[in-house]
Amino acid sequence: MNHSIVSNIAVDQTDCDCLVVAVYQDKQLSNAAATIDKAGDGALSELLAFEDFTGKTGESQLLYKLAGINAKRVLLVGCGEKDGFGALALRAATKTAVAKVSNKADTKITSMLGDDLNTVDNANNIIMQMVLGAADSRYQFTSHKSDTPEVITGQHLEIGFTGAFAGDDQALNQASAVALGCELSRDLSNQPGNICTPTYLAETALGMARKFKNLEVEVLEEADMEKLGMGSFLSVSQGSDQPGKMVILKYNGAGNSDAPVALVGKGVTFDTGGISLKPGASMDEMKFDMVGSASVLGTIKACAEMKLPVNVIGVLAAAENMPSARATRPGDIVKSMSGKTIEILNTDAEGRLVLCDALTYVGKYKPKLVIDIATLTGACIVALGHEICALLANDQALADDIMASGNKVGDQAWQLPMNDDYQKQLKSAHADIGNIGGKSAGTITAACFLGHFTKDYRWAHLDIAGTAWNGKESTGRPVPLLTQFLIDQA
Ligand code: BES
Ligand code: MN
Ligand code: ZN
């Protein structure tokens, strides 16, 4: 779907297959809807009087041959309480609208849904939310279906305003780039574990480096990691026939003197639990245990597409967690790249084991800050459910910035504490540190474990166990949050 922004639209005159306008709760007309009503001498009000449609969130109503209007059809979209309608509600309204007008004949759709919100403060975000909502509505993952629904191509979504668009020139470019980043992340994550292996993630990164000139990719093989002393990472990949990979992406958008932002993603392409085997129910969902890595790839793709002037280092800690004769036993002790020894009391707490070596390694790039992204703990779902991801950090200003970007773009993070008092739960009888922290505060103790390896820089950790997928499908989160954060930094 192509997009454009069009200012100064005359709502009654404009020619399109479908004109989309907002109606708020209790039939309150948006500015654009009021213009339509006037052009038809109250025709719209007459139709609304039937109360088939009253403007509640989620409602929609197609109208044909509306008097005084050039558009072939008009779609009314219920937008709920007028006061509560902001950029985030606009995303859902756009999703509803685009799902309605998916006929082949709909080549040009003009959406006025954001018109009443067109202020300097809102304008860029209006575009972001409309583009993401439309992309979300159109997304399907059908790579392995024999009968695929017909894909409608060549559609154009015109984002219309009755006045002059109040945002910047970059808004549409940025929003489209974020949508492409989300799509990449979702496609990778939806692939099953027999296809999306560590090698597949590495090849995806290498393919991106061929496409974008200012992106370089380097792949550390297991032998390289052995030389670097990454005993913690290797303790996870050693049980699998799939070789583990540490993939380094260097996006240079801002020239050489700027310290990079580092994004480190958990890339466990399938998590069986290892010898501490998981129960069978829903184990298939552990193909999503690489969404951290997928979101790093998606975010870097978004940056490259929009040519964002920032430097980003991406690290994918990619391994498969399998039980086998070569697998790590509970109780095994390994040495991490940092020199710290780890007693692996549960092989299912593998995410932190692959991440800690990646976090040590990334220090060599002297990053200005580091964010790791991981489907790390089931406890995170208990704490925050599937709506909001957990954020833990060793730097409050960084945590505040991440939360602000997330709130703005509608991809929210909520901070949990990581006081030193929790450290005692990670004590090990025989090594420097254990890899589990017992029954309570699982998300916090997992972050505290990572905190041992992030002392040299400003660092934040996103636990996305609850938000990375819903049911059986990847959500694309937290690509919007990460990209918005980088836009806000740039
Ligand atoms: N990948 C899982 C966490 C997870 C579980 C994410 C369910 C989403 C849904 C992680 O590797 C894991 O198994 N964590 C353990 C840690 C425990 C052994 C300390 C968990 O959360 O149970
Ligand atoms: Mn696990
Ligand atoms: Zn895992």
Given its phi and psi angles, is residue 322 left (phi above 0), alpha (psi -120 to 50 degrees) or beta?
beta
Ligand nearest to the CA of 269: 3
Q: Is residue 110 part of a domain?
A: yes
pLDDT above 90 (res 57): yes
Residues 215 and 256 in one domain: yes
Task: Using a CB cutoff of 5 Å, list residues around ligand 3, an ion.
Answer: 268, 271, 289, 351
Confidence grade of residue 105 (pLDDT, cut at 50, 70, 90): confident
Ligand nearest to the CA of 440: 1
Q: Indicate the average pLDDT of the chain.
A: 97
pLDDT for residue 106:
81
Q: What is the pLDDT of residues 107-117, one digit of tens each?
A: 899 999 999 99
DSSP string over 422-468: GGGGG--SSSSEES---SS-HHHHHHHHHHTT-TTS-EEEEE-TTTS
CATH of the domain at 155: 3.40.220.10
Kindly give the number of the ligand 1 atom that is closest to the alpha carbon of 466: 8
pLDDT above 90 (res 228): yes
Number of Cβ within 10 Å of residue 114's Cβ equals 26
CATH of the domain at 254: 3.40.630.10
Residue with CA closest to ligand 1 atom 6: 465
Residues 324 and 363 in one domain: yes
Q: Is 442 in the pocket of ligand 1 (CB under 6 A)?
A: yes
Q: Is 383 in the pocket of ligand 1 (CB under 6 A)?
A: no
**Ligand 3 center–CA 339 separation, angstroms:** 23
* Mean pLDDT computed over 189-197: 98
Phi and psi dihedrals of 459, rounded to 5? -145, 145
Burial (Cβ within 10 Å: 0-12, 13-18, ≥19) of residue 396: exposed
Q: Is 434 in the pocket of ligand 1 (CB under 6 A)?
A: no
Distance CA 453, CA 26 (A): 55
What DSSP element (H or E) covers 47? Answer: helix 43-48
Number of Cβ within 10 Å of residue 455's Cβ equals 10
**Ligand 1 center–CA 470 separation, angstroms:** 16
**Ligand 1 center–CA 287 separation, angstroms:** 12
* Mean pLDDT computed over 218-234: 99
Residues 133 and 199 in one domain: no
Q: Is 267 in the pocket of ligand 1 (CB under 6 A)?
A: no
pLDDT above 90 (res 102): no
pLDDT above 90 (res 386): yes
Confidence grade of residue 152 (pLDDT, cut at 50, 70, 90): confident
Predicted model pTM: 0.98
Query: Angle, nearest 10°, between helix axes 351-362 and 442-451?
Result: 30
Q: Is residue 170 part of a domain?
A: no
Residues 268 and 390 in one domain: yes
Confidence grade of residue 149 (pLDDT, cut at 50, 70, 90): confident
**Ligand 2 center–CA 375 separation, angstroms:** 9
Residues 198 and 340 in one domain: yes
Of 165, 197, 214, which residue constitutes the final position of a domain? 165
Residue with CA closest to ligand 1 atom 3: 377
Residues 318 and 195 in one domain: yes
Confidence grade of residue 348 (pLDDT, cut at 50, 70, 90): very high
**How many domains, the chain?**
2
Q: Is residue 172 part of a domain?
A: no
Of 115, 143, 165, which residue constitutes the final position of a domain? 165
Q: Is 174 in the pocket of ligand 1 (CB under 6 A)?
A: no
Q: Is residue 294 part of a domain?
A: yes
Query: What single DSSP character describes residue 214?
Result: T
pLDDT above 90 (res 153): no
Domain membership of residue 71 as a residue range = 2-165
Residues 96 and 241 in one domain: no
Burial (Cβ within 10 Å: 0-12, 13-18, ≥19) of residue 380: buried
* Mean pLDDT computed over 188-205: 99
pLDDT above 90 (res 50): yes
Residues 372 and 400 in one domain: yes
**Ligand 3 center–CA 289 separation, angstroms:** 5
pLDDT above 90 (res 202): yes
Q: What is the pLDDT of residues 304-325, one digit of tens each?
A: 999 999 999 999 999 999 999 9
Which of 367, 339, 337 has its CA nearest to residue 355? 337
Distance CA 451, CA 457 (A): 10
For residues 10-32, one letter each, b for 16 or more C-beta atoms within 10 angstroms of the residue's C-beta and e for the rest, the string is ebbebebbbbbbbbbbebebbbb
Confidence grade of residue 257 (pLDDT, cut at 50, 70, 90): confident
Q: Is residue 190 part of a domain?
A: yes
Q: Is 271 in the pocket of ligand 1 (CB under 6 A)?
A: yes
Residues 138 and 255 in one domain: no
Q: Which of 268, 288, 377 to mutate to test the pocket of ligand 1 (most atoms within 8 A of CB)?
A: 377
Q: Is 344 in the pocket of ligand 1 (CB under 6 A)?
A: no
**Ligand 1 center–CA 377 separation, angstroms:** 4
Q: Is 377 in the pocket of ligand 1 (CB under 6 A)?
A: yes
- Percent of the chain at pLDDT > 70 equals 100
pLDDT for residue 65:
87
Q: Is residue 344 part of a domain?
A: yes
pLDDT for residue 104:
79
**Ligand 3 center–CA 391 separation, angstroms:** 17
* Mean pLDDT computed over 249-275: 97
**Ligand 1 center–CA 473 separation, angstroms:** 18
Kindly give the number of the ligand 1 atom that is closest to the alpha carbon of 268: 1
Residues 212 and 131 in one domain: no
Task: Using a CB cutoff of 5 Å, list residues around ligand 2, an ion.
Answer: 271, 348, 350
Q: Are the beta carbons of 442 and 378 closer than 8 angstroms?
A: yes
Distance CA 15, CA 129 (A): 24
Of 141, 165, 189, which residue constitutes the final position of a domain? 165
Q: Is residue 59 part of a domain?
A: yes
Kindly give the number of the ligand 1 atom that is closest to the alpha carbon of 375: 6
Residue with CA closest to ligand 1 atom 22: 378
pLDDT for residue 467:
98
Residues 238 and 380 in one domain: yes
Number of Cβ within 10 Å of residue 329's Cβ equals 12
Residue with CA closest to ligand 1 atom 9: 378
Q: What is the pLDDT of residues 69-98, one digit of tens each?
A: 999 999 999 999 999 999 999 999 999 999
Residues 183 and 307 in one domain: yes
Structure tokens at 388: 């909001």
Q: Which of 284, 343, 344, 348 to mutate to test the pocket of ligand 1 (most atoms within 8 A of CB)?
A: 348
pLDDT for residue 150:
80
Kindly give the number of the ligand 1 atom that is closest to the alpha carbon of 445: 19
Q: Is 463 in the pocket of ligand 1 (CB under 6 A)?
A: no
Q: Is 136 in the pocket of ligand 1 (CB under 6 A)?
A: no
Q: Are the beta carbons of 94 and 129 closer than 8 angstroms?
A: yes
Instruction: Give Cα separations from 295 to 79, 289, 300 (angstroms).
Output: 30, 11, 8
Q: Is residue 173 part of a domain?
A: no
Active site amino acids: 278, 352
